[in-house]
Structure 1
Amino acid sequence: MKKPIIFQNIPCTLVTGFLGAGKTTVINQLLATKPTDERWALLINEFGRIGIDGALLASSQDSNLEQQKIAIREVNGGCICCTSQLPLQIAISRLLSEHHPQRLLIEPTGLAHPRELINQLGAPHWQTALKMQAVITVLSGSQWQQEKYRTQEGFQAHVRDADALVINRYDQLQDGDRHALVEWIAKLNSQVKIIWVPSEQATSDIKNTYLLALNDQLSNSSQIISKQRKINIAHPPKSVMGLQPRSGSISTSPLSELSTESDEDQSNIDTDQPYRYHEKQQDILLAGWRLPAHYRLNADNLHNWLLKLPNWLRIKGVVNTTEGWLQINFTPDSLTTSTASVQIDSRIEIILQLDENDNTAREDVAIKYKPELSATAIDWDTCDHELMAMVV
């Protein structure tokens, strides 16, 4: 009988950041620093059920991930920090046992509260298996400029629980605003190390200095998680943080039934494309589509259609279009479209902000959406027909 492999002190880095902060870009930069002879693994958690970030990361690499010795596992359909510890334990255990990585990166959903994940990774059973390095948090300067972000508890929480804070998209900030940003950070976390992302016009020396500072965090121990481990040892939790699985209503399109399989069985829905789901969670609405790879969508029509969706917070996708395979990565302050490698299918996922004042709108009322309407008034069957009409 084969003895189980015991993993010890695998360096592990948590990369956090609020929704749309730019975590994927930072992770790509970290992956670019990987020594060619090392095996790395990346665990991506997405709140939606489609899974886009893995495809975005794979498309951005110069060669395939297997050749680069990079393994990616996605945990979709919920936040690994607020459902239970089981999805996190299973995902990490499988990555370690199947791929034997020499380093592990974890990217939680931008809707996650980092403290809950830090609580889990600070648990005694991870203390010998994982060597937790600095928690890297990505902060968007353009988001911070908006009061609705900087006064929000969830936005502030990412700064409080960071060892290193990577600040991007601050080009539009005046000197006084940058000073105010630094003061705001200091009030939340006076010990955090601040790393400023250079602009595209910066010199090679400045860009290299930034990458060295970012890479250094992979070797710095996490003070945040170290403190949490001491708390966990002194006061072990009576239950898994008293958290319950997330609640909410789920609806599926007649295009396909919603898959409820584990992350390793997500490929099962490939045979039932086109596929769409939508799901309401507290004050947000999630929706996503998977389409066969041979469906080619009109690029301009798709772009315009997505931007007309009401109250959208985030739009991501990897889609076969009339302009080739494209990566779509939209936030309210950044619209990015770039070329992508050929994928096994097209994927689109959106996050919409529900109107807090719209208590009467019902999702089962068939109203054709308009930009000025609440997200709860979307007729998803109409959306399906409009999306299919873009196929050429």
Structure 2
Amino acid sequence: MKTSIVFQNIPCTLVTGFLGAGKTTVINQLLATKPTAERWALLINEFGRIGIDGLLLASSQDNTDDKNSIAIREVSGGCICCTSQLPLQIAISRLLSEHHPQRLLIEPTGLAHPRELIHQLSAPHWQTALKMQAVITVLSAVQWQQDKYRNHDGFQAHVRDADVLVINRYAQLDDGETQALKAWITKLNTQITVIWAAPIQTTPDNDNTLNAHLSELSIQLTEPSHVIAQQRMVSIAHSRRSSVSLQPISTSLSPTALSHPLQANDDAQSDSDLEQPYRYHEEQQDMLLAGWRLPAHYVLKADDLQDWLLRLPSWQRIKGVVHTSDGWLQINFTPDSLTTSTISTQTDSRLEIILQSDNDNQTQDTTIDNNQAHNASSAIDWEARDCELMALVI
């Protein structure tokens, strides 16, 4: 008879941040501090259905000499904190049982609700298995400068429910804005530890600053989470008053009818089963999502692809790994940052976009009926977008 393995006190760090804040950069910096002899695992929650971050991180690990590579698992197709506790429980349990990591990092989607995720990780069944370390939140100062972010409850939530705040892209702030940012943070969370990120570009002038930043960041991997400790006290008190049972619900999504059949991609093992070219589109949380996976031999015109992407209406995030006329490129676009870089050859091209629906932030506190949601989703002719993208293939 196979006996179950009991895991206890696995150090676990939650890295949160609003959409486009720069979580992946911080994750990469944390992974760079991993001792060679240790086994680490990373759980990535992608809001869309096409895994891109996990692919890039796995690819970067292939280029290292560390035999104890980092185990990566993706949960795609929705927020792990917005559906039920089941997807999170399954993903963590599989990582622990299959890879026996000595440390776990969790990166939820930028549209996640951090308080709900913290509530889940404070549940009794995780209190012995996971040793929760400081919750790290990433904040883009460029985003903060804009009212639509600064006054958005979802943007503020990441700061309210964190132990540590990593602030990046702050070089353009003047003294008055810097003081206003500090006051804004203090108003939301008086206990938070603030780390001002060093510039990503390494030069002789900032090399020492970068090393100091990485050292300060790595220390947070061993700092206990006061936010989760408080939530666990609440959970214990609540469990004493009442018995709570989990209600099983369907984790499948109901996307709009597509010209290509939609296939779930919640496990990396199913990647090879997808028939390409593949694409999907759907609406979640007043956001329109669309994604494409294309065979590796499809080569797209690099300049025309960028122009096409930037012409998309009200886009909030564009990510991809694409085979182009300029070689294999990693694309990472936010409204305040357009980044492309060359990468190694991939098994296929992947592209995912998040657009703001017609139900913008001005209506975020109102109830949207089904007809309004349908009209917002159908405002884009996705078949026409498919044809435009395919026209870029050389």
Pairwise same-fold verdict (TM > 0.5): yes
* CA RMSD of superposed structures (Å): 2.4
Contact 1:259 1:269 in 2 (8 A): no
Q: Distance in 2 between matches of 1:2 and 1:111?
A: 39
Alignment of 1:31-110 (within 5 A): 31-61=31-61, 63=63, 67-110=67-110
Question: What letter corresponds to residue 215 of structure 2 in structure 1?
Answer: L
Question: What letter corresponds to residue 14 of structure 1 in structure 2?
Answer: L
Q: Provide closer, same or farther for how the CA distance between residues 260 and 59 of structure 1 changes in structure 2, counting only shifts above 3 A.
A: closer
The residue number in structure 1 matching 2:255 is: 250
How far off is 1:264 after superposition? 5.1
Contact 1:85 1:240 in 2 (8 A): no
Question: What letter corresponds to residue 255 of structure 2 in structure 1?
Answer: I
Q: Provide closer, same or farther for how the CA distance between residues 144 and 100 of structure 1 changes in structure 2, counting only shifts above 3 A.
A: same
Q: Distance in 1 between matches of 2:372 and 2:307?
A: 25
The number of aligned residues is 381
Contact 2:87 2:251 in 1 (8 A): no
Q: Provide closer, same or farther for how the CA distance between residues 388 and 49 of structure 1 changes in structure 2, counting only shifts above 3 A.
A: same
**Fraction of identical pairs, as percent:** 66
How far off is 1:57 after superposition? 2.1
Alignment of 1:125-274 (within 5 A): 125-199=125-199, 200=201, 202-236=205-239, 239=244, 250-254=255-259, 256-260=260-264, 262-263=266-267, 266-267=270-271, 269-270=273-274, 272-274=275-277
Q: Distance in 2 between matches of 1:261 and 1:340?
A: 23
How far off is 1:63 after superposition? 1.1
The residue number in structure 2 matching 1:123 is: 123
Question: What letter corresponds to residue 253 of structure 1 in structure 2?
Answer: L
Question: What letter corresponds to residue 386 of structure 1 in structure 2?
Answer: E
Q: Please give the per-residue CA displacement for 1:225-277, whole angstroms capped at 9, x wherever unaligned.
A: 011111001003755788976897512532x311136435532542x100010
Pick aligned residue for 1:351 from 333, 349, 354: 354
Contact 2:50 2:265 in 1 (8 A): no
Contact 1:284 1:352 in 2 (8 A): yes
Q: Indicate the SS of the match to 1:325.
A: strand
How far off is 1:363 after superposition? 6.4
Q: Distance in 2 between matches of 1:240 and 1:225?
A: 21
After alignment, is 201-210 or 48-57 more displaced? 201-210
After alignment, is 53-62 or 174-183 more displaced? 53-62
Q: Distance in 1 between matches of 2:46 and 2:141?
A: 23
Alignment of 1:280-295 (within 5 A): 280-295=283-298
The residue number in structure 1 matching 2:302 is: 299
How far off is 1:382 after superposition? 1.1
Contact 1:55 1:318 in 2 (8 A): no
Runs of 4+ in 1 over 6 A off after TM superposition: 240-248, 357-364
Contact 1:58 1:65 in 2 (8 A): no
Q: Unaligned 5+ residue runs, structure 1?
A: 365-373
Question: What letter corresponds to residue 380 of structure 1 in structure 2?
Answer: W
Q: TM-score, normalised by structure 2?
A: 0.91
Q: Distance in 2 between matches of 1:184 and 1:152?
A: 13
Q: Provide closer, same or farther for how the CA distance between residues 313 and 232 of structure 1 changes in structure 2, counting only shifts above 3 A.
A: same
Contact 1:52 1:316 in 2 (8 A): yes
Pick aligned residue for 1:329 from 327, 332, 350: 332
Q: TM-score, normalised by structure 1?
A: 0.91
How far off is 1:385 after superposition? 1.1
Contact 1:363 1:378 in 2 (8 A): no
After alignment, is 259-268 or 136-145 more displaced? 259-268
How far off is 1:203 after superposition? 2.1
Q: Indicate the SS of the match to 2:222.
A: coil
Q: Provide closer, same or farther for how the CA distance between residues 18 and 245 of structure 1 changes in structure 2, counting only shifts above 3 A.
A: farther
The residue number in structure 2 matching 1:367 is: none
Q: Indicate the SS of the match to 1:15.
A: strand
Q: Indicate the SS of the match to 1:351.
A: strand
Q: Distance in 2 between matches of 1:134 and 1:350?
A: 31
Q: Unaligned 5+ residue runs, structure 2?
A: none
The residue number in structure 1 matching 2:112 is: 112
Q: Distance in 1 between matches of 2:246 and 2:161?
A: 17
Contact 1:295 1:320 in 2 (8 A): yes
Q: Provide closer, same or farther for how the CA distance between residues 351 and 284 of structure 1 changes in structure 2, counting only shifts above 3 A.
A: same
Q: Indicate the SS of the match to 1:166.
A: strand
The residue number in structure 1 matching 2:392 is: 390
Q: Provide closer, same or farther for how the CA distance between residues 239 and 337 of structure 1 changes in structure 2, counting only shifts above 3 A.
A: farther
Contact 1:290 1:345 in 2 (8 A): yes
How far off is 1:362 after superposition? 8.4
